[in-house]
Amino acid sequence: MINILMTVLTKNLDRRRESSRFAARDRRGKEADIFTDLKVVIPIVDEATVTHVDRIAILRVALTLCRLRKVATKFLKTNLTEEHRCLWSETTLLECLDGFLAIVDLDGIILYVSESVSIYLGLTQMGDDFRESISTL
């Protein structure tokens, strides 16, 4: 009687383990699909130079992109004349500043840095605190 009970309990335990493993495998597969989709949508450093981008980096860039879009939509909704619109274009700003451009939100979080900022100051981490980054220079 005890052997039968132990056999039934063991079978139930094995079924639970198997279903748990299947659920975990399925969840990891869904997560991988989501991160693959995110990687396609967000701007990541050129794939030729980076062999692996971890999930935390993908999430940081995605969050920063969302913040940048929020800031940009507020800025772009302003009524600018044609002359001012030409002055505030990305190309004009980068030419005037010799490509030296950093966009920071009100909380001091780096949303975007141009290539020259990255080269000369070494600021490449979007999502970092601008004040902390500058104070370490």
| Residue 9 placed within a domain | no
| Residue 131 placed within a domain | yes
Q: Give the range of the structural domain holding residue 83, as residue numbers without chain letter.
A: 61-137
What is the tally of structural domains in the chain? 1
Of the candidates 90, 102, 107, 100, the one whose C-alpha atom is nearest the C-alpha of residue 126 is 102
What SS3 state is found at 124?
Answer: coil
> What pLDDT score does 136 carry?
63
**CB neighbours of residue 123 within 10 Å:** 19
> Max CA-CA distance within the chain?
91
> What pLDDT score does 48 carry?
53
| Residue 91 placed within a domain | yes
Write down the residue that tokens 């274009």 correspond to.
Answer: 89
> What pLDDT score does 25 carry?
95
What interhelical angle do 2-41 and 55-76 show, nearest 10?
40
pLDDT in tens, the chain (137 residues): 677 767 777 888 888 889 999 999 999 999 999 988 888 777 665 555 456 677 887 887 788 778 777 777 666 666 666 666 666 566 666 566 666 777 788 888 877 777 777 777 777 666 677 777 776 65
pTM: 0.51
What SS3 state is found at 110?
Answer: strand
Per DSSP, 48 falls in state T
Of the candidates 63, 38, 68, the one whose C-alpha atom is nearest the C-alpha of residue 53 is 38
| Residue 19 placed within a domain | no
